[in-house]
Structure 1
Amino acid sequence: MYRSWMPSFLRPDFTWPRPMQSTICEVTPKLPHVPGKIKRRACGIFHEVLYRLSGWYCSWCDIPFDANIVQLPFGLVLKWTDRTSIEEAVAMHMARAAGMPVPKVLTCGEHPYAPFNRVFSILMTRLPGIALENSDDLLHVELEDPWLSELKKCVTSMRTWSSPHAQRICSVLGTSLRSTRVPNHIMGPFTDEEELHDYLLSPASGHGFNTTADYNQALAQATKIRKYSHEITFTHGDFKAHNILVGDDGHLSAFLDWESAGWYPEYWDFTTASRYGKNSWWAQVALWVGGERYDDELACDIALNSLTVDSYIAF
């Protein structure tokens, strides 16, 4: 329980709402100015002070301390993980500039000597809402509006953006992509889709199969992905239920965790959402917002997962 006399702006449930905009930009937002290394290092020192402050703050408010998503007063959150990057901050800025309900990036910090590869942090605003959860329930579209239609508007709009990197598969800055779907959780950049598929298929192994025939069947299915040609579109990269917050009014209140965002083949978000549960509630959401076109790609992706999961699941 929070202390009764505590001002609302000091409480850990204080937020800075970013209402869903009526129109989401369908033209690629301009890249923001990226702060220089000296400024990022200075902000990193400031973030380290906030990190220590959060331990005291969480104890004072009687809430758990989270070393990755660091809770602060005044409606602020410090994200500091081994996956946080300048690319994530830029992607968040672009999505927010387009009109999506995304936290506002305040400062970016660099930590060159931090352990466990926690070399970057982002100070941002906290948004309201409750995170969605996946389940085995059926999706009833009429019961999920308005947030479901608003999510579809976000996904559809950002898929119309034109990449400044031509057919390259890369982050918003043209650099490597971060994804939990690959070894070491980092890949690329790739010059084209063929190079991406070469990389994804390279760790294929028969380790998890009972027979050689089963392995060959899965490999044949996975390699069918090479037959299809796709547009390269702006992609969230980690399109999961827990990254979507819905407010008490039923509206989409936050679209979170842009650490994997970048330019991918158009199917990537939808197969990411469905590969571990094709008939789950969240997979039905992915189908409704645009994934119904990618059944063939999903079959390839599921086969690919069975061939390569040993290469990244331990990381």
Structure 2
Amino acid sequence: MYRSWIPPFLQPDFTWPRPMHSTICEATPELPHIPSKVTRRACGIFHELLYRFSNWYCLWFNIPLDANVIQLPFGLILKWTDRTSMEEAVAMQMARAAGIPVPKVLSCGEHLDADFNRMFSILMTRLPGTALENSSDPLHIEVEEPWLFELKECIISMRKWSSPYARSVCSALGTSLRSSRVPNHIMGPFTNENQLHDYLLSPASEHGFNSTEDYNQALAQATEIREHSYRINFTHGDFKPHNILVGDDGHLSAFLDWESAGWYPEYWEFTTASRFGKDSWWAQVASWIGDGNYKKELACDIALNSLTVDSYIAF
């Protein structure tokens, strides 16, 4: 129980609600202004001071200190990890400009001498809501709360944006992408899908297969993805339940963690969300949002994972 005499805006559960717009913009949002290197460095120094302050703040309120998602008063948090980047900040600002409930980016900090490759930080608002949890339960569309339909509107609207980078697979800035499913968690940019597929298949290994025949069968399944050409869509890239917050009223209150966002082949959002639990409740959510498409692509992705998982699982 927080001290009752402390104003609400100083307490760690204070939030800045960001209701969804009545419609999500289907036109590609403009790229936001990128702060200069001097500004980013100055903000980085300020963010380091906020981190030190958070040590005292968390102790005062008896809440856990998280070095990656740093809690602050005034409804603010500081995200500072080895994956945080300018690309994430830009993707967040694009999504928020379109009307999606995303934290407001207040400043971006650059850290030249940070430990553990924590070179970038983002100061943002804290949004309300409770994160979704996956399960083995069946999905019943007719009894789900409004968040499900609002989330689908966000995803479908983003998929109608037009890439300024032709058929390149890249971040919102046209640079490399961050993904937990590749070595070192970073890849690209790629000028086309074929380059992406070549990269994803490059670490394929027979390790873990009972026979060469099983390996060849998985390889044939994985390479079937090359038989079709796909649209390049704007993609969240880490479409998982813990990144979706729902308010007490059942409405979508936040869509978080845009560090993997960018321009990917159209199936990527749904296969990435489903490949580790294709029968789970969340996989059913992803399939419903994708109108039941991309089943063949999911089979290809599962085969690809069996071929390459050794290359990134230790990172």
TM-score range, shorter chain: over 0.9
Cα-Cα RMSD: 0.6
The Cα of 1:145 is off from its aligned counterpart by 2.5
The Cα of 1:20 is off from its aligned counterpart by 1.1
Residue in structure 2 matched with residue 140 of structure 1 by the alignment = 140
Residue in structure 2 matched with residue 108 of structure 1 by the alignment = 108
Residue in structure 1 matched with residue 274 of structure 2 by the alignment = 274
TM-score by length of 1: 0.99
The Cα of 1:292 is off from its aligned counterpart by 1.4
The one-character-per-residue Cα deviations of 1:244-288 (angstroms, maximum 9, x if unpaired) are 000000000000000000000000010011000000000000011
Show the 5 A alignment for 1:29-68.
29-68=29-68
Aligned-partner Cα distance in 2 for 1:118–1:48? 11
Show the 5 A alignment for 1:1-315.
1-290=1-290, 292-315=292-315
Aligned-partner Cα distance in 1 for 2:43–2:142? 46
Aligned partner of residue 162 in structure 1, secondary structure: coil
Aligned partner of residue 225 in structure 1, secondary structure: helix
Aligned partner of residue 123 in structure 2, secondary structure: strand
Aligned-partner Cα distance in 2 for 1:22–1:181? 35
TM-score by length of 2: 0.99
The Cα of 1:3 is off from its aligned counterpart by 1.2
The one-character-per-residue Cα deviations of 1:79-112 (angstroms, maximum 9, x if unpaired) are 0000000000000000000000000000000001
Moved over 4 A (4+): none
Aligned-partner Cα distance in 1 for 2:10–2:138? 40
Aligned-partner Cα distance in 2 for 1:286–1:228? 21
Aligned-partner Cα distance in 1 for 2:90–2:298? 29
Letter in 1 for 2:305: N
Question: Could you tell me the percent identity over the aligned residues?
Answer: 78
The Cα of 1:159 is off from its aligned counterpart by 0.1
Aligned-partner Cα distance in 1 for 2:305–2:51? 37
The Cα of 1:143 is off from its aligned counterpart by 2.0
Aligned-partner Cα distance in 1 for 2:194–2:207? 25
Aligned partner of residue 296 in structure 1, secondary structure: helix
Aligned partner of residue 154 in structure 2, secondary structure: helix
Unaligned segments of structure 2, at least 5 residues: none
The Cα of 1:291 is off from its aligned counterpart by 5.3
Aligned partner of residue 292 in structure 2, secondary structure: helix
Aligned-partner Cα distance in 1 for 2:163–2:69? 30
Q: How many residues get paired?
A: 315
The one-character-per-residue Cα deviations of 1:14-73 (angstroms, maximum 9, x if unpaired) are 000000111100000000000000000000000000000001000001100000000000
CA contact (8 A) 1:270 1:291 kept: no
Aligned-partner Cα distance in 2 for 1:128–1:52? 25
Aligned-partner Cα distance in 1 for 2:173–2:25? 20
CA contact (8 A) 1:89 1:105 kept: yes
Aligned-partner Cα distance in 1 for 2:307–2:75? 44
The Cα of 1:171 is off from its aligned counterpart by 0.3
Aligned partner of residue 293 in structure 1, secondary structure: coil
The Cα of 1:119 is off from its aligned counterpart by 0.1
Letter in 2 for 1:283: A
CA contact (8 A) 1:161 1:233 kept: yes
Unaligned segments of structure 1, at least 5 residues: none
